């Protein structure tokens, strides 16, 4: 390989047949005289611009597009040299860092010698060691192209905002399960908003037996084993639900506040008394109707109960998870859109309350397709305010444009699966910790189950990994009509 060109932090390297390098590979451009080396990542592989190549191709097709039949007598065997030149490729590489005195400097301001530099592939294990990617709490993500394991440090997810995105059936949920289980393994508290019931069998192996995580996986299904008593609620939490999930107007909200305080003073906070209080309220008929309609929405959700004993599971699970690690799977499958919003509003408020009081240490929140239940104002709240309380969110989506741009800008880690759509890649490339060329070039060619890790987890050295298989029972498979036919 030969260094050909450098423009900004892009270098172009001329490579020949026997020096194969693919997108995503790392190269070390070593200038022995300067005592430094560049670490560059291949982001595109092109044909080298060889003069006369067009003529060469054209003359092989002169006969109406058919190959002209013939023999070449080439006693000096120059043809292999011609092929060697014609097949030369140009590796477009992004400079990631400079190695000097065995330490990494994020600089690309120097120019290595074009004639003297030695260029070689940098194996992923060497890079991991150099960049100190694997830490004290290793999580094995999977295998890299050179058959080594990519191990990240669980602490690089701690206090961070993560995004897992890619088109359908590329393995996003699989990766989130892997991260989640590893965090649980390190005694972290994990909460999952499970939209499709994909996480419900995480405690089982593929053949249906209990696995090591079985006792640490807690499934909460709203309206079934997960209910809330009004007495456990703060007024502001219920008002958030009424205003944001059920769109209660301001005037009616004021009247509700009055009713609530009156019931609380009398220690009569329950659904039955709330209904009666609204019925007997001396207020405008429209306000009463508005309150009644919301009241019945709450009643019909079956999420609220007057039996406090029925409403203790969430806190129990959270405290168990705090002690020995665990995952609380909030099963939102078969839950209507309004009820989903009610549940999520309640949970987020509850987490903030518990974290503020230091009753919980921190929560790793995994939110699948969050746009389906997260109201507009919560996006900023989650990445700024709630992060300070200790809610560290991982968004999982196959529609990257549903995640707001400022979320991408603040994302610390992005796990990117295949996208072919230019628009989707454009959205993801807005993330502050990645460069658009890398995202657009590498993500487009990722096979299923291969993921491009970006951000702190890989110390800003984007790496492609085949996410390792998990021995857990698969759920959330799409039900097919022609399943038996195949």
The answer to whether 70 contacts other proteins (rule: CB under 8 A) is yes
Stretch that binds other proteins, among 45-53, 138-146, 194-202, 399-407 (CB under 8 A): 45-53
Shortest gap between Cβ of 402 and other proteins (angstroms)? 49
The answer to whether 68 contacts other proteins (rule: CB under 8 A) is yes
Stretch that binds other proteins, among 44-52, 95-103, 186-194, 319-327 (CB under 8 A): 44-52
CA 225 to the chain's CA centroid = 29
Q: Which is nearer to other proteins, 42 or 90 (CB)?
A: 90
Shortest gap between Cβ of 85 and other proteins (angstroms)? 5
Task: Give the dihedral sign, CA 415/427/366/418.
Answer: negative
Neighbours of 169 (CB within 10 A): 13
Q: Which is nearer to other proteins, 84 or 296 (CB)?
A: 84
The phi, psi pair for 396, rounded to 5°, reads -125, 120
The answer to whether 56 contacts other proteins (rule: CB under 8 A) is yes
When binding is defined by CB under 8 A, the residue of 10, 50, 149, 349 that contacts other proteins is 50
Q: Do the beta carbons of residue 285 and residue 295 sit within 8 Å?
A: no
Q: For 83-100, give one letter per residue: b (16+ CB within 10 A) or e.
A: eebeebbbbbbbbbbbbe
Shortest gap between Cβ of 55 and other proteins (angstroms)? 5
Q: Which is nearer to other proteins, 50 or 137 (CB)?
A: 50
When binding is defined by CB under 8 A, the residue of 22, 74, 376, 422 that contacts other proteins is 74
CA 193 to the chain's CA centroid = 14
The answer to whether 71 contacts other proteins (rule: CB under 8 A) is yes
Task: Give the dihedral sign, CA 207/208/209/212.
Answer: positive
When binding is defined by CB under 8 A, the residue of 7, 18, 33, 59 that contacts other proteins is 59
When binding is defined by CB under 8 A, the residue of 33, 72, 207, 484 that contacts other proteins is 72
Q: Which residues contact 484 (CB under 8 A, 6 or more apart)?
A: none
When binding is defined by CB under 8 A, the residue of 7, 8, 33, 76 that contacts other proteins is 76
Residues 77-116, interacting with other proteins (CB under 8 A): 78, 81-82, 84-86
The DSSP secondary-structure symbol of 450 reads E
Q: Which is nearer to other proteins, 73 or 482 (CB)?
A: 73
When binding is defined by CB under 8 A, the residue of 8, 51, 65, 250 that contacts other proteins is 51
Shortest gap between Cβ of 5 and other proteins (angstroms)? 18
Shortest gap between Cβ of 53 and other proteins (angstroms)? 6
331 φ/ψ sector (left φ>0, alpha ψ -120 to 50, else beta): beta
When binding is defined by CB under 8 A, the residue of 7, 33, 65, 69 that contacts other proteins is 69
Could you tell me how many residues of this chain bind other proteins (CB under 8 A)? Answer: 25
Stretch that binds other proteins, among 71-79, 98-106, 337-345, 418-426 (CB under 8 A): 71-79
The answer to whether 52 contacts other proteins (rule: CB under 8 A) is yes
Spatial distance between the Cα atoms of 16 and 36, rounded to a whole number of angstroms: 24
When binding is defined by CB under 8 A, the residue of 8, 18, 33, 55 that contacts other proteins is 55
CA 236 to the chain's CA centroid = 31
CA 411 to the chain's CA centroid = 9
When binding is defined by CB under 8 A, the residue of 33, 63, 357, 484 that contacts other proteins is 63
Q: Do the beta carbons of residue 461 and residue 41 sit within 8 Å?
A: yes
Shortest gap between Cβ of 7 and other proteins (angstroms)? 24
Question: Nearest Cα to 144, choosing from 422, 429, 406, 468?
Answer: 468
Question: Nearest Cα to 110, choosing from 122, 94, 101, 98?
Answer: 98
Stretch that binds other proteins, among 52-60, 175-183, 408-416, 417-425 (CB under 8 A): 52-60
Spatial distance between the Cα atoms of 233 and 269, rounded to a whole number of angstroms: 10
Q: What is the DSSP string of 278-310?
A: HHT--S-HHHHHHHHHHHHHHHHHT-EES-GGG
Instruction: Report helix, strand or coil for 83.
Output: helix
Spatial distance between the Cα atoms of 144 and 130, rounded to a whole number of angstroms: 16
Stretch that binds other proteins, among 22-30, 38-46, 76-84, 370-378 (CB under 8 A): 76-84
- Applying CB under 8 A, the residues found at the interface with other proteins are 50-53, 55-56, 59, 62-63, 66, 68-76, 78, 81-82, 84-86
């Amino acid at each position: 390989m030969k260094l050909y060109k450098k423009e900004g932090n892009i270098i172009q390297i001329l490579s020949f047949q026997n020096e194969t390098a693919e997108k995503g590979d790392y190269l070390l451009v070593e200038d022995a005289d300067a005592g430094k080396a560049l670490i560059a990542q291949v982001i595109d592989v092109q044909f080298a611009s060889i003069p006369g190549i067009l003529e060469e191709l054209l003359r092989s097709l002169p006969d109406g597009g058919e190959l002209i039949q013939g023999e070449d007598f080439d006693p000096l065997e120059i043809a292999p040299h011609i092929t060697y030149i014609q097949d030369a490729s140009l590796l477009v590489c992004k400079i990631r860092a400079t190695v000097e005195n065995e330490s990494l400097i994020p600089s690309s301001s120097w120019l290595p010698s074009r004639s003297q530099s030695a260029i070689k592939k940098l194996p992923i294990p060497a890079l991991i060691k150099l960049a100190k990617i694997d830490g004290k709490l290793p999580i094995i993500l999977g295998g890299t192209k050179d058959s080594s394991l990519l191990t990240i440090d669980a602490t690089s997810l701690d206090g961070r905002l993560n995004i897992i995105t890619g088109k359908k059936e590329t393995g996003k949920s699989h990766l989130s399960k892997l991260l989640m289980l590893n965090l649980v393994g390190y005694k972290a508290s994990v909460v999952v908003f499970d939209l499709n019931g994909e996480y419900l069998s995480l405690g089982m192996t593929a053949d249906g037996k209990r696995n090591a995580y079985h006792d640490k996986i807690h499934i909460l299904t709203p309206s079934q084993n997960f209910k809330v008593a009004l007495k456990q609620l703060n007024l502001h939490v219920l008002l958030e639900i009424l205003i944001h999930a059920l769109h209660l107007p301001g005037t009616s909200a004021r009247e509700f506040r009055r009713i609530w305080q009156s019931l609380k003073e009398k220690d009569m906070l329950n659904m039955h008394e709330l209904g009666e209080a609204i019925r007997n309220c001396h207020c405008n008929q429209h306000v009463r109707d508005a309150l009644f309609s919301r009241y019945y929405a709450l009643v019909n959700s079956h999420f609220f109960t007057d039996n406090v004993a029925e409403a203790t599971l969430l806190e129990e699970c959270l405290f168990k998870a705090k002690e020995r690690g665990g995952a609380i799977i909030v099963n939102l499958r078969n839950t209507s859109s309004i009820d989903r919003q009610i549940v999520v509003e309640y949970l987020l408020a509850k987490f903030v309350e518990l974290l503020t009081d230091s009753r919980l240490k921190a929560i790793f929140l995994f939110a699948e397709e969050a746009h389906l239940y997260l109201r507009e104002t919560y996006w900023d709240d989650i990445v700024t305010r709630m992060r300070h309380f200790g809610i560290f969110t991982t968004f999982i989506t196959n529609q990257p444009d549903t995640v707001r741009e400022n979320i991408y800008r603040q994302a610390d880690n992005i796990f990117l699966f295949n996208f072919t759509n230019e628009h989707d890649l454009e959205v993801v490339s807005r993330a502050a910790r990645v460069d658009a060329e890398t995202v657009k070039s590498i993500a487009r060619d990722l096979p299923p189950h291969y993921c491009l890790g970006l951000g702190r987890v890989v110390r800003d050295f984007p790496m492609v990994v085949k996410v390792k298989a998990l021995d857990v029972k698969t759920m959330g498979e799409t039900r097919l009509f022609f399943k038996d036919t195949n």
